[in-house]
Amino acid sequence: MTRIFSGLKPTGHLTLGNYLGALRRWVEVDQHRAEALFCVVDLHALTVEHDPARVRRLSRQAATLMLAAGLDPERCTVFVQSHVDEHARLSYLLECTATDGELRRMIQYKEKGTRAREAGEGVRLSLLTYPVLMAADILAHGADEVPVGEDQTQHVELTRDLAVRFNQRYGQTFTVPRATRPQVAARVMDLQDPGSKMGKSHESGAGIVYLLDEADQVRKKIMRAVTDSGREVRYDRESSPGVANLLEILAACTGGNPGELAAVHQSYGSLKRDTADAVVELLRPVRERHAELAKDSGYVEEVLSAGAERARAAARPRVDAAYAAIGLLPGR
Ligand code: AQP
């Protein structure tokens, strides 16, 4: 059976980008057709300046939202990365497989490293090495597929390279995974800055729709989205990135096609109104279910604890095999 692994980082409140690029597909498709594991990748949230209490709060909130969106613990495994030692255990072996050159080429390292330097903060070594930990997350579980948004393509490519290299050097140990992307909205852009990805750790939330925003906040953000000085609604990412972004969001929400949706809208105002309605309706059940689950933290903790146990048991033999293959003496 196909195995799937993917995760969400608790670096901020989850956004419409996380939902359309990843979470919705996990719920609607992936958990039904494969042996699937979904993880709050909390160790990845420690690669930039962080507040411990906030990371704890956001980790619980991300897990609750994953369940609220419809991940079913009877169908898939939902867990927190730091509860399963196998990830960090394997990461070291993969650090001994990767080179510093290939990690320094990672776009996220360059972008976030530059931001940290500009803010006068030190760049944590883990910002450089975390793609290796991400590779360990994926390879420890023998995943064939990794459903992610477009921004994670480079990290999945690195994972593939490390798996192939390890297998060639030390014998067949890892499955070589591949990234899968949604057909539309693989890269939802910031509504105020359509040249940048809608990212949960951005400082200004004006262009970001958060999954837990109230309906009127969502409407306000979408109605104020940056478009351009033209009038005609055209689907062209190059010359009209703001309009294209709205068309892609609307298409992802309604199952339509961005080009065809452009033809039915005569003005930016009507496109924004339809997009706002569609997003509000899409997120309403998630918000309502989140409110119910948030009252019952015991349930979420039980799910995470059972999930961690399953994930640990599944990953351990593969990580043990990697330790043996690379030349380490087996322990008792
Ligand atoms: N804007 C997006 N459009 C489509 N997919 C997206 N994803 C993230 N943003 C978009 C996908 O959501 C999954 C989880 O993402 P993540 O938690 O690993 O990272 P992030 O949301 O990109 O958050 P960061 O890195 O903490 O913050 P920013 O982006 O603000 O720097 C992934 O599958 C991702 O592709």
Pocket test for ligand 1, best of 18, 49, 55 (most atoms within 8 A of CB): 18
Q: Whose CA is nearest to atom 19 of ligand 1?
A: 9
Provide the pLDDT for residue 332.
66
Provide the pLDDT for residue 226.
95
| Atom from ligand 1 closest to the CA of residue 190 | 1
| Residue 22 Cα to ligand 1 middle (Å) | 8
User: Among 14, 43, 172, 162, which Cα is nearest to 96's?
Assistant: 162
Q: Whose CA is nearest to atom 28 of ligand 1?
A: 199
| Atom from ligand 1 closest to the CA of residue 147 | 33
| Residue 17 Cα to ligand 1 middle (Å) | 7
Rounded to the nearest 10 degrees, the angle between the axes of helix 241-254 and helix 268-294 is 50
Q: In what order do the strands lie in the sheet with 77-80?
A: 77-80, 35-40, 3-8, 145-147, 178-180
Active site residue 197: yes
Phi, then psi, of 15 in degrees rounded to 5 = -115, 170
Provide the pLDDT for residue 331.
80
Residue length of the chain: 332
| Atom from ligand 1 closest to the CA of residue 8 | 17
Q: Are 189 and 227 in contact (CB under 8 A)?
A: no
**Which candidate in 200, 220, 221, 295 is catalytic?**
200
**Which candidate in 9, 197, 221, 272 is catalytic?**
197
| Residue 11 Cα to ligand 1 middle (Å) | 10
Q: Are 60 and 43 in contact (CB under 8 A)?
A: no
Ligand 1 interacting residues, C-beta cut-off 6 A: 8-9, 11, 17-18, 21-22, 148-149, 151-152, 186-188, 197-202
Q: Are 23 and 14 in contact (CB under 8 A)?
A: yes
Q: What architecture (CATH level 2) is domain 185-295? A: Orthogonal Bundle (1.10)
- Give, for all 332 residues of the chain, the pLDDT tens digit: 899 999 999 999 999 999 999 999 999 999 999 999 999 999 999 999 999 999 999 999 999 999 999 999 999 999 999 999 999 999 999 999 999 999 999 999 999 999 889 988 899 999 999 999 999 999 999 999 999 988 899 999 999 999 999 999 999 999 999 999 888 878 999 999 999 999 988 778 899 999 999 999 999 999 999 998 778 899 999 989 999 999 999 999 999 899 999 999 989 999 999 999 999 999 999 999 999 999 988 999 999 999 999 999 999 999 999 999 999 998 86
**Which candidate in 112, 220, 221, 295 is catalytic?**
112
DSSP 197: B
- In this structure, what token pair is assigned to residue 193? 């800055």
| Locus of tokens 């104020």 | 224
Provide the pLDDT for residue 12.
94
What's at 230, amino acid-wise? Answer: G
Q: Other C-beta atoms within 10 Å of 88: how many? A: 15
Q: Are 186 and 150 in contact (CB under 8 A)?
A: yes
Q: Are 76 and 31 in contact (CB under 8 A)?
A: yes
Pocket test for ligand 1, best of 200, 208, 211, 246 (most atoms within 8 A of CB): 200
User: 71 Cβ partners below 8 Å, 6+ apart?
Assistant: 26, 27, 31, 38, 78
DSSP 122: P
Active site residue 112: yes
Active site residue 9: no
- In this structure, what token pair is assigned to residue 281? 């309706």
Q: Whose CA is nearest to atom 35 of ligand 1?
A: 149
| Residue 151 Cα to ligand 1 middle (Å) | 7
Q: What are the Cα distances from residue 47, in Å, to 86, 146, 293? A: 19, 22, 29
The residue extents of the domains of the chain are 3-181+297-326, 185-295
Q: What architecture (CATH level 2) is domain 3-181+297-326? A: 3-Layer(aba) Sandwich (3.40)
Q: Other C-beta atoms within 10 Å of 282: how many? A: 19
Pocket test for ligand 1, best of 151, 187, 190 (most atoms within 8 A of CB): 151
| Atom from ligand 1 closest to the CA of residue 201 | 30
Q: Are 145 and 178 in contact (CB under 8 A)?
A: yes
Q: Are 162 and 156 in contact (CB under 8 A)?
A: no
* Distance between CA atoms of residues 5 and 269, nearest Å: 40
Provide the pLDDT for residue 230.
79
Provide the pLDDT for residue 216.
97
